[in-house]
Structure 1
Amino acid sequence: MLDDTFDDLASVDLTGTGAPGHRWFTDRPFGWGRTMPQDLTVRDSVLTISPSTKSPNYGIATSSPTSHEGRGFRYGYFEARMAFDPEDWRRSTGWPAFWGLSHDQIVGVGRPRWAELDFFEAYRDPGGPYEHIFAGTVHDWLAGPPETDRANHGNSSAPLAGVDLTQMHTYACLWQPGRITWIFDGRELFTQTYSKDAAPSPNPRDLAPGMFSPLDGDVNGQTVILGTGVGHPLRVDWVRVWQ
């Protein structure tokens, strides 16, 4: 179980070296550099992530690609209580995200095929506005070069019309073998099922049998990640994972 309320930054490795004794790490994989200490602040037990340099919505994570400290989570209930200003898309290079990425891929255990599970993204099309949707996605990656995301266009989403996202809300995802359910403030929004032998359901993009099954095949699970873009601060009250 992970339960972090961010009373301070003691749980975060601010050195970027992957130092042991931490639950969150600021060094990023794939040559993406690291999150700088000044990009993270805590006030009244709320963590604010406000990147000073462009990153792929990757601020802090539960494993270190440098030292291999930390961990991933295979299956469970993932939730974060967060807030952000949707209007910040106007000057942002990214968007608020609470997501997971193959732990093995982050620490350099190369696999021919691996998965990414996005618990929540305030996703927007490049150059376009954020349209107040809850986007939850499974990505099924093929190793490269170049790496190929075989399901990036298969996003699941639900409208959040009329919701004041500048206030704290709970964004969650229940991941069970072959089944993922996305949840907002305790309300189920949509579900994706999958298996190694059958096509996923729903399947509006006519994806092949076995799509998304690398999720279950990765025994070290998903590293949990919090992040956002430059000019789009993300406030995080707490993060919890139950297994």
Structure 2
Amino acid sequence: MGQEKVDPQAASAGTAMKLVWQDEFDGDSLDYAKWGVEVNAFGGGNSELQIYTDRSENVRVEDGNLVIEARKDNAGISGTEREYSSGRVRTKHRGDWKYGRIDVRAKLPEGAGIWSAIWMLPTDDAYGGWAASGEIDIMEMKGQEPDQVLGTLHYGDVWPRNAYSGDKYKLQNGTFADDFHTFSVVWKPGQIDWLIDGKKYQTQTKWSSTGGEFPAPFDQEFHLLLNVAVGGNFLGSPNDSTPFPAQMLVDYVRVYQ
């Protein structure tokens, strides 16, 4: 892991955390001890249009960044071909945490129908199926609104009786496609804070699960997911102005506890 690092922002707040997991993407290939690449011929739910592959065209490491690239290339896997392809990686069983601070520095793709996400799911569905066991969305961005991102919790009961709550953060100048920004959550028992570039913009302390008492479901181990989806119910389809390929570049992932 290299030299131990301490989070200076957490330290200045009197709650020093130590770096427990990181990927700086300095090599020339993905570290499969830390990441699994999901292969899914039918997108990721939500009526999304992409196929997720493990091809280097969709997931690779180059120039010090993880590249997750959405393409309009009629890729096929498992006997299924779709108009769009993209990548989705996760740390499940390679990086699983209960509480801590997760920092992801990334540059996001813009364009109608491009949905980039940095998020967390429970490693074990201790309280039942989605969303009774929870979901933590560190960052989601609709490519047609590239100056704002969303931070959301999903919880409550299994779909469709689930609930969610969250807020958005809007840049005063420019877009999240112009440069890298650091997206973070600080997750403590009964409280989750969202930060962008070290600035807190929301705190949540109220949620529930039909499977257990508060602070369930956010009292179990979660893992991290990074992906770029195309289309779907959340944001609509690409149009003629959507640029392909569309890349999310990830400079680093750092987890402190």
**TM-score, scaled relative to structure 2:** 0.67
Q: CA RMSD in A?
A: 3.2
User: Which is richer in helix?
Assistant: 1
Find the counterpart in structure 2 of residue 179 from structure 1.
191
Q: Is 1:169 paired with 2:181?
A: yes
1:1-243 → structure 2 map (5 Å cutoff):
1-8=20-27, 10-13=29-32, 22-27=33-38, 34-38=52-56, 39-52=58-71, 59-63=88-92, 69-86=93-110, 88=111, 90=112, 92=113, 94-105=114-125, 111=128, 113-123=132-142, 129-130=144-145, 132-140=147-155, 142-143=157-158, 147-148=159-160, 150-152=162-164, 154-165=165-176, 166-194=178-206, 213-216=216-219, 218=220, 221-230=221-230, 231=244, 232-243=246-257
Q: Which position in structure 1 is the counterpart of 2:48?
A: none
**Against the structure 1 CA distance between its residues 83 and 196, is the aligned structure 2 distance closer, same or farther, given a 3 Å change threshold?**
closer
Indicate the SS of the match to 2:163. Answer: coil
Q: Which amino acid in 1 is paired with 2:54?
A: M
The SS at the match of 2:124 is helix
- What's the offset of the Cα at 1:157? 1.3
Q: Return the letter of the residue paired with 1:185.
A: D
SS of 1:95's partner is strand
**Which structure's residues are more often strand, by fraction?**
2
Task: Please report how far the alpha carbon of residue 121 of structure 1 lies from its aligned counterpart in structure 2 after TM superposition.
Answer: 1.0
Shift of 1:111: 2.0
Unaligned runs of 5+ in 2: 1-19, 45-50, 76-81, 231-243
Pair 1:228–1:196, CA change in 2 (3 A): closer
Where in structure 1 are there 5+ consecutive unaligned residues?
14-21, 64-68, 198-209
Higher gyration radius (CA): 2
TM normalised by structure 1 equals 0.70
Q: Is the 8 A contact 1:84 1:233 kept in 2?
A: yes
What's the % identity of the aligned pairs?
24
